[in-house]
Structure formats: structure tokens, C-alpha cells
Amino acid sequence: MTYHVEDRDGQATLYLAGEIDLDKSPAARAALLDCVDKYDELVVNMSAVDYIDSSGVASLVEALQKARRRKVGFQLSQVSPAALKVLALARLDKVFTITD
Amino acid sequence: MTTEDNGYLGLMTGLTREYAVAEDLAEVHIMALERISTAMDVAGASLFLLENEDRELVCRGCIGQVDITGLQLPADAGIVGRSVQTGQVQMVADVSQDPDFYSAADALSGFVTRSVLAAPMNIHGRTLGAISVVNPQDPERLFNQKDMELLQSLASAAAMAMNTAQMTRELLAGERVRQELVLAAEVQRRLLPDCGDLPANVYGISRPAREMSGDFFDVVVRPDGRLYFAIADVSGKGLNAALLMVKTTSLFSMLAKSVPEPGRLLAALNRELCETNTAGMFVTMTVGVYDPETGRISLCNAGHMPTLLRNARGRFRSLSAAMPPLGIVCETQEDRYPVDDLLLCSGELYLYTDGVTEGHIAEDTELGEEGLRKALDELAELPLRQRLEELVHRLGDESRALWDDVTLLGIETSESRQPGLPLYFRVTAIADRLGVIRDLLNHALKDLDWSDEVRENVVLAVDEACQNIIRHAYAGLPEGEIEGQVRVDGNRLRIQLTDQARKVPDTACTPQAQSSLQPGGLGNRFINDIMDEVFYERLQETASHHTGNCLVMVKEL
């Protein structure tokens, strides 16, 4: 799992890539929560996520909940088919705002 | 230059020569004093050296009627002491008039010292001691300015000659140690396997940063064709690390013959090393067995750098150590360390010491694990031997010394081999093993006529079940193992995961309510949604094991 952040006028895009599994989700979680703390608008680009498991999904859920509390805009974009299937399996594809 | 001067010059060069070839310094001191006393025509001469951290003057040579060899004085006592402390020649025409005169020797021997001349032995601003002469043979003659200058020159020449002789001796001793180190390094090098005798798909390199190394690797081809291999790194550098390395090597070769299972071997090695007082040193080590016939590999890692797997598509998996280094935790009752037992898909396996990843590829730039992966990708087209040689070359060559001992061992699968069904695996319960399990399953389940989506879902369910074992069943306990068996049973795929952890409640697989947004519990929902049946099977209780758990997941074909 790798990530990087692009910041455009207070709106940040967090690019997650690779496998977000039990081994790597702590790093993804830390990056997500850090972005929610720092920015008013966060887009999580998941186009290069090859694999995500329940711990990765839990990190997204935790970040979403924190974003709602802090009134930070939070959306997922370009979610890879592999990650989208898992979000659907978790019945969370309607909970997140997912954009192309 | 007068004939007399020529004589004195000859005397000085003679002194230098004698000190240079001296085997016994005490004899040369006597010889020097005899030459000085003859040249100066005196009744006696003695040589005092500063010893015991310059606190005392000890007589190391003496000629004349009284032998005071071995006499010890405080560093500032007597006329000799005054000469040493001031760094100046001291001339006393009548010692009875000098309060500093040390009269104890005269009182003991009956010798009557009339006059004394003492010159410090100075070299490079440091005083080694002093030479003193007493009583000109001619009772009418008194020491004069010329005597002072002569004795000072002779004392300085003696100091220089003595100092040179001392340095030469130290150099020779150093050279002897160096030669012994070269021989010891050669012996240590011979402990490493000759890679020319090994199959082409196995290669290892070990380069010491200094003469001796704290690293080692070994590869043994067993009669049945299986490869037994090990890599180890002793903490610290230099001779003490090298000696512990030799001990570990010997223990490994001995134990490898009687304890062929890597987990039992490392547990036994740990016990042996704990019994030795290793003065805070420890050993990190990975031991493995590879069967080229079946492609199976069995690995056990005690505190060593992660084992790197690279598959045919260039994807890396890194397997970290499950146990602490050897020689540290001695009170463990474990007779077997946890082991990873996997099918090595077509690709490569690399073991290395920290000298590789902490090695410098440029000024202030460490290679790092990411750098190692990149380098292995770049060099992937080279045959294994050249690949590893080139990698080590990047860390140091003739012009750039190695940062640390460097050891690398590579094994390539000799033919393309993919896991199929039935599939068996055993992994240590660490999160970085999940990727390996997914790779194995993804390959094995391709045997079935399933869509990618169904296959990926089943892989996810197994991943989630293994996570539960790591996070919940083994939580708080030392690292354990997860054993997986995947097989087709009639028209069903049966996946069985076994652990030796505490018994989990039967409700452990209860899924989370769908309306909940709480993290946790989601994994169980995935498992229950994906699989057709999920249940625990009762395990036979044994005296030596926790009961453990056996989770069975079934998917209709």
C-alpha cells in the first residue's frame, strides 16, 4: 500500500494504491484521519486499490464518521472494481458518496 | 669534526643500531651504559625509566661497583628525579652539598658518590627517564660543560633508539596479529558453502566489511534433493562477533543432521546459545528447507530480516520474523518455533542480512528494502549468480568499502509451478502472511470453473477468517500458526483453518447487524455472506497443545 496527497486550495485528494489489508490498513487509516484533520474537503481516490478487506473498509468508515463530526466534505472517487465489490458486499456503497 | 667527535657520533649510531636489533631491552641498556661510561671515563652509570603511569622512576640498568637495578624512586626523587622533572641536565660537583641527593644506596653499599651528572631521556617533548653517571675515574677531574653536552646527546640518542625499538616491536606484533586475522578469515571463509557445487538455482554471497565477519549462510543439498539453508547475523562486528558466528555455524551443521525441521532446529539452537554466556550478543537467523520436487518451502525466522518472495510477475511479499533473535529469551519452554510452510510459486526467494538494506549505494544513501526490491527488478533478467554479484557490487567495490558485512542468499524455482487443489499451507499468525495466503488461493482456485468475482470473494472470506485468528484467537499470546487445507469435497469446496489458540466462543462467526456502521464485525459478515456454510469442528484435545480451533467454510461449486 502506498499513498500520496495532492492539495488544491483546501481541497485535498488522497490517492490510495495497492492492497489495503490487515497488514497495511493501519497506515491507510492514519493517512485518512490525518487528512480529515487537515482539510475542509477530502476526496479519496481509490483507482489504484487492488484489494481491500474489512479492516480497510473499517478505516474508511472511521474517517467518514470523523469527517461528518468535523463537517469535512468526504467522498470516494474512481473506486476500482475490486474495491467497489467489497464496498457493495459491506452494503456501504450507498453510505459513501462515490464519484467517477 | 675532531677525532673525539667522530668517536661520539659512532657511539650514538652504535646505540641506535643495538636498540633496533635488540631482543632483550635490559641487555641493551647495560651495553649502552658500558659504552657511555667508557666514553666518559666514569665509575658508574645507571638508567632510570618513568613507570607506573610516570609516578615512579625505576632503575632498568646499572654498571659500576653498586648494582641498584630495580631500585624504585618517586618520580621527583634525587638528582635523577630533578633532571626528569625539569627536563634539564643536572650537574652536581659535590653531592654532599645537594639536599636532593638520594644517599640510601650509598648507605647500603658503602660506595661513596662524589659527583653526579644526570641527563633526561627526551623525545618529542616527552621524557622517558634519565641516564646518570657518577664519579669521574680521575679523582682530580670534575664534570664539566662538555660532559653535560655529551651526556645529554647520548641520553637523547638512547631515548630515540629505545622509542624506535618499541614502535618496531609494536608494529611487528600488529603484523603478526594481522597475519593471524588473515588466516582466521580464510578459515571462516571456508566455513561457507562452495556455491560452485550447488544447483544453478541457488546462490549465496557473503562479504565481510573487515577481515572477519559476523554473518554466515549455509546450503546443504540432502540426498533426497531437498535444500537445507540458513542465513544468520551475529550482533556487533569484529572478532567477538566472528567467534560467536563460528559457534553458531558449528551448532547449525551439527543440529541440521539430527533436527531436520526448521522450527525445532531454531528452538534447539536458541537453547544452546542461551547456555553460553554471549555477553549481550545475540544471533538473528532464518532456516529453511526447499523441496524442488514439490515446490514446497518451510521457513522459520528468529529475529532476522524479512524473507523476500518475488513471483514471476514481479510482485514481492515480505515475511517478517515471528520470534525474537536467538540467545535472548532463554526461559522459553517452546521446543518448536512457528514455521511457514508454503508452496513457492514460480519466482524467487531472497534472504539477506541488514548489511544489504543498510548498505550504502551512494554517499549517505542506504539501499533500504524498497531499494532492494527495485534493484532485484532491474537485475531480474540476469542469471541468479550475476544478479546477486551485481547487487553486492553496488554496495561496495575496490574503491568503496562495504558499510557492514553483507550476505545474500537467493533461490529460484527451477520450473514454472503454480499451486492447485488440494492446497495445504501453514503460516505464522502475522498480518504480512495474509498476502501470501491470498496469492496461493488465487492460483489454486483457478482450477475451478468460477468467475473472477466468486473466486475473489472466497479469497476475501479466507483472508477475513485468518484475520480473526490473528486478531482475536491469538491476541495477547506468542505468535502461533494457522494451518489451511483447501480441497474439493463432492460438489463443495471445503476450506479448513486450524489454529492452536484459545478456544473461541461458538458465536464467533456471528455477523454484524447490517444497519450498524461500527467498524469490526464486518469481516464475519463477509464470511457469512460469501460462504454457504461456516462452522467450527471439535478438535481432539492433547496434553501439549491448547485445544485450538478448527473453522470450516464451505462453498457450493
End-to-end CA distance of chain A: 22
Pairing of β B347-352 and β B215-221 = unpaired
In percent, the amount of chain B with pLDDT more than 90 equals: 45
Confidence (pLDDT) at B316? 94
A5 pLDDT more than 90 = yes
B271 pLDDT more than 60 = yes
Q: Residue with C-alpha cell 510452510?
A: B341
Among the partner residues A23, A53, A82, nearest to B464 by beta-carbon distance: A53
The interface predicted TM-score (ipTM) is 0.95
Q: Residue A61: its chain B contacts at CB < 8 A? A: 517, 519
Whole-Å CA distances, B444 to A83, B486, B494: 22, 9, 13
Question: If you average pLDDT over residues B510-523, what whole number do you get?
Answer: 58
Q: Give B431 to chain A, closest Cα distance, Å.
A: 5
Among the partner residues A23, A62, A85, nearest to B432 by beta-carbon distance: A23
Listed in sequence order, the DSSP H helices in chain A are 25-38, 54-70, 81-89
Return the SS3 of B319. Answer: strand
Model pTM? Answer: 0.76
Beta carbons within 8 Å of B195's beta carbon, 6+ residues apart: B202, B203, B204, B205, B219, B385
| B277 band by pLDDT with thresholds 50, 70 and 90 | low
Mutating which of B311, B522, B529 best tests the A interface, going by the most A Cβ atoms within 10 A?
Answer: B522
B29-58 confidence digits (pLDDT tens): 888 899 888 888 999 999 999 999 899 999
Higher per-residue pLDDT: B390 or B159: B390
B420 pLDDT more than 90 = no
B334 pLDDT more than 80 = no
Q: Does A88 touch chain B (CB under 8 A)?
A: no
Confidence (pLDDT) at B344? 81
Question: In this complex, do A95 and B517 lie within 8 Å of one another by their Cβ atoms?
Answer: yes
A87 pLDDT more than 60 = yes
B92-106 confidence digits (pLDDT tens): 988 888 888 888 778
Residue of B nearest to A65 (CA): B517
Question: In this complex, do A23 and B438 lie within 8 Å of one another by their Cβ atoms?
Answer: no
Question: If you average pLDDT over residues B247-265, what whole number do you get?
Answer: 88
B547 pLDDT more than 80 = no
Q: Which of B205-214, B403-412, B441-450 has the lowest mean pLDDT?
A: B205-214
Q: Does B463 touch chain A (CB under 8 A)?
A: yes
Q: Does A45 touch chain B (CB under 8 A)?
A: no
Question: If you average pLDDT over residues A3-32, what whole number do you get?
Answer: 94
| B517 band by pLDDT with thresholds 50, 70 and 90 | very low
Q: Does A68 touch chain B (CB under 8 A)?
A: no
B339 pLDDT more than 80 = yes
Question: If you average pLDDT over residues A40-54, what whole number do you get?
Answer: 97
B5 pLDDT more than 70 = no
Residue of B nearest to A95 (CA): B517
| B516 band by pLDDT with thresholds 50, 70 and 90 | very low
Average pLDDT, chain A: 95
Q: Residue A65: its chain B contacts at CB < 8 A? A: 517
Confidence (pLDDT) at B519? 47
> Could you tell me the sign of the dihedral formed by the alpha carbons of A18, A19, A23, A24, in that order?
positive
